[in-house]
Amino acid sequence: MSEPLILDGAATAKAIRAEVAARATKLKEAHGITPGLAAVLAGDNPASVTYVSMKRKACAKAGITSFEHVFGADATQEEVLACIHQLNADPNVHGILVQHPMPKGLDEDEILATVDPAKDVDGIGRASLGDLVLGHPSFVSCTPQGMMTLLKRYGIDPAGKHAVVIGRSVILGKPMAIALLNANATVTICHSKTQNLAELTRQADILVAAVGRPELITGEMLKPGAVVLDAGYNRVEGRGHDVGDCHFESCAAVASAITPVPGGVGPMTIATLLEQTVAAAERSVGK
Amino acid sequence: MSEPLILDGAATAKAIRAEVAARATKLKEAHGITPGLAAVLAGDNPASVTYVSMKRKACAKAGITSFEHVFGADATQEEVLACIHQLNADPNVHGILVQHPMPKGLDEDEILATVDPAKDVDGIGRASLGDLVLGHPSFVSCTPQGMMTLLKRYGIDPAGKHAVVIGRSVILGKPMAIALLNANATVTICHSKTQNLAELTRQADILVAAVGRPELITGEMLKPGAVVLDAGYNRVEGRGHDVGDCHFESCAAVASAITPVPGGVGPMTIATLLEQTVAAAERSVGK
């Protein structure tokens, strides 16, 4: 096999962030609107704190105002809901990101369902998920939407292809499967209860690994020429960087196109969050 | 092969309707509540008129009060929305069924999204669909939920099985695929853009045909021992009754279990609607 096309998420995300900054400038000049993204955080989950900090920096570079609402681990449901209602009503806030998991004692489902769908730029509220099933315009969970954008920007059309998605989480596998279906792929969703995983992955024209198991997918599990999207980022002792769900070397030897880890799917998540925030701000014009 | 098990939807639906009637009686005796189902109809789509009439009779037998709100084809969006709001607020109405398709000129999506999710016994509002994706308790579109009930009552557990769903409509294929995924099946969704359909159907432990093409699926497209659920009901000239999406004789020769048409999936739809209405009434107790 010749070398596969490397789907460069870092470069694509950089281009998207520049586009977002240009759109933010245009909104400011034409309508006096500065896009605003509010993060709601409760407790001190280190991954959430890191993500919010990355988001803050990325917003600043893209001309998006960051708002942060940080609650202690002992926050009450009423306090958090009151904050969401206030953000829903705030015209300076166009996107609302609720960091999850929230501490036990909070009803995360109710909190997520309270976010105005027009501001649900993280795409994980029930209305956004329902709109995705309906095929209506909606904000989609940022990592799957980022993968769809990668496919699009590299000219890979899922229509008529067999896409196999491994993993069925609500933020990754399920919305990715529905988005691929909406893009006219034939879609198979595999998970921990799947028998004969390799038989299914070998049928994939497009393989999406979103399962959180380091190097689960190896080259011999792929169809030659497959497009491989690896949403895994697993900490593995003794390895210098995060490890994907795919064994890169053996998969790259078989695939026609593949995302590296890091620098593949990962950077697309925040870029997509920014893109959906500026889109929400654009849609707010004239409302 | 021995004769397949016939999944008798007519008998199962009859049993469910009797259970619903018993639950309605209990609600009346214990809480003074009579379950109520409101149908909202606009225009004179003959299929909708027929369905509403069947529903009215079935409700009467099951101890459920029917309400009908019939608008002309020239109804305005405001009129229909006002009706939905009134039904949402009406404590005597536990389920709301919006007949679709609605006439052009009405924004059906907005109307469906306005139905209180707690009363969306038809399961096609965006909140209900989102809850289905989330794996939360929700009302599911009645035909797919009826098929899931058939599987359950015949002791067929989808967990670990490969289910292949043909068709991706919002009322049939998509919610069926998600429901099967939630029940731990590996799920493949096929549709008009699918290449090599037979290669995929031959992998199905459970095959769901929901595509509206008479006798598209023949026995040689099945894996021996497959469970076949046929949601098709196609009018075919010269045939005495509706014809399924599966060629019954050849499929029955290969399948381990199969739904006939008629008398299979069809009767489960209204039975499920009644079941979800009485469930909504039960959940309203104490609210």
Residue A239 lies in a domain: yes
A253 in the same domain as A162: yes
* Catalytic pick among B55, B119, B161, B174: B55
- Residue A114: list chain B partners with CB under 8 A: none
Average pLDDT of B207-217?
97
In the A/B pair of chains, how many CB contacts fall below 8 A?
102
B59 in the same domain as B145: no
Contacts for A80 with CB less than 8 Å, ≥ 6 apart = A40, A42, A71, A102, A106, A111
- Residue A179: list chain B partners with CB under 8 A: none
A104 in the same domain as A43: yes
Name the 3-class secondary structure at A217. strand
Instruction: Tell me how many degrees the CA angle A168-B245-B40 measures, rounded to the nearest 5.
Output: 75
Contacts for A238 with CB less than 8 Å, ≥ 6 apart = none
B122 is catalytic: yes
* Catalytic pick among B99, B174, B230, B276: B99
Residue A146 lies in a domain: yes
Give me the sign of the Cα torsion angle B197, B200, B203, B205: negative
Determine, for residues B188 and A187 on separate chains, whether the beta-carbon distance falls below 8 Å.
Answer: yes
Give percent of chain B with pLDDT exceeding 90. 93
Residue B89 lies in a domain: yes
B183 in the same domain as B83: no
Which run of H or E residues covers position A257? strand A257-258
- pLDDT for B216: 97
CATH number at residue A205: 3.40.50.720
CATH number at residue B45: 3.40.50.10860
Counted domains in chain A: 2
- The predicted-structure confidence for A173-230, as pLDDT tens digits, reads as follows 999 999 999 999 999 999 999 999 999 999 999 999 999 999 999 999 999 999 999 9
Contact call for residues A226 and A202 (beta carbons, < 8 A): no
- pLDDT for B1: 55
Select the more confidently predicted residue: B46 or B81: B81
The reply to whether A133 touches chain B by the CB within 8 Å rule is yes
Q: Which structural domain range is residue B71 located in? A: 30-118
The pairing of strands B186-190 and B206-209 is: unpaired
Residue B277 lies in a domain: no
- pLDDT for A1: 54
* Catalytic pick among A8, A120, A122, A131: A122
- Label residue A44 by pLDDT band (50, 70, 90): confident
- Label residue B287 by pLDDT band (50, 70, 90): confident
B263 in the same domain as B150: yes
- The predicted-structure confidence for A151-186, as pLDDT tens digits, reads as follows 999 999 999 999 999 999 999 999 999 999 999 999
A192 known member of a binding site: no
Contact call for residues B94 and B35 (beta carbons, < 8 A): yes
Residue A149 lies in a domain: yes
What is the DSSP track for A68-80? EEEE-TT--HHHH
What is the overall mean pLDDT for chain A? Answer: 96
Residue B58 lies in a domain: yes
Secondary structure tally for chain A: helices H, strands E: 10, 9
Average pLDDT of A46-66?
92
- The predicted-structure confidence for B52-90, as pLDDT tens digits, reads as follows 899 999 999 999 999 999 999 899 999 999 999 999 999
Place of tokens 């020239």: B74
A258 pLDDT exceeds 90?
yes
A100 in the same domain as A154: no
A258 in the same domain as A149: yes
Contacts for B232 with CB less than 8 Å, ≥ 6 apart = B209, B210, B211, B212, B213, B214, B216, B243, B244, B245, B246, B261
Q: Considering only the beta carbons, identify the residue of A127, A170, A193 that sits closest to B127.
A: A127
A42 in the same domain as A150: no
Q: What is the ipTM of this complex?
A: 0.96
Give percent of chain A with pLDDT exceeding 70. 100
The reply to whether A169 touches chain B by the CB within 8 Å rule is no
Before A35, cis peptide (omega within 30)? no
Phi, psi of A232 (to 5 degrees): -80, 145
Residue B34 CB burial class (10 angstroms; 0-12, 13-18, ≥19): middle
Determine, for residues B109 and A136 on separate chains, whether the beta-carbon distance falls below 8 Å.
Answer: yes
Residue A150 lies in a domain: yes
Contacts for A20 with CB less than 8 Å, ≥ 6 apart = A62, A63, A64, A271, A274, A275, A277, A278
The reply to whether A187 touches chain B by the CB within 8 Å rule is yes
A250 in the same domain as A193: yes
First to last CA, chain B: 54
A145 in the same domain as A262: yes
B184 in the same domain as B108: no
The amino acid sitting at A43 is G
Residue B19 lies in a domain: no
Average pLDDT of B7-30?
98
Chain A residue closest to B173 (CA)? Answer: A133
B163 in the same domain as B91: no
Query: SS3 sequence, chain B?
Result: CCCCEECCHHHHHHHHHHHHHHHHHHHHHHHCCCCEEEEEEECCCHHHHHHHHHHHHHHHHHCCEEEEEEECCCCCHHHHHHHHHHHHHCCCCCEEEECCCCCCCCCHHHHHHHCCHHHCCCCCCHHHHHHHHHCCCCCCCHHHHHHHHHHHHCCCCCCCCEEEEECCCCCCHHHHHHHHHHCCCEEEEECCCCCCHHHHHCCCCEEEECCCCCCCECHHHCCCCCEEEECCCECCCCCCCCECCECHHHHHCCCCEECCCCCCCHHHHHHHHHHHHHHHHHHHCCC
Lowest mean pLDDT among A92-96, A100-104, A228-232, A279-283: A100-104
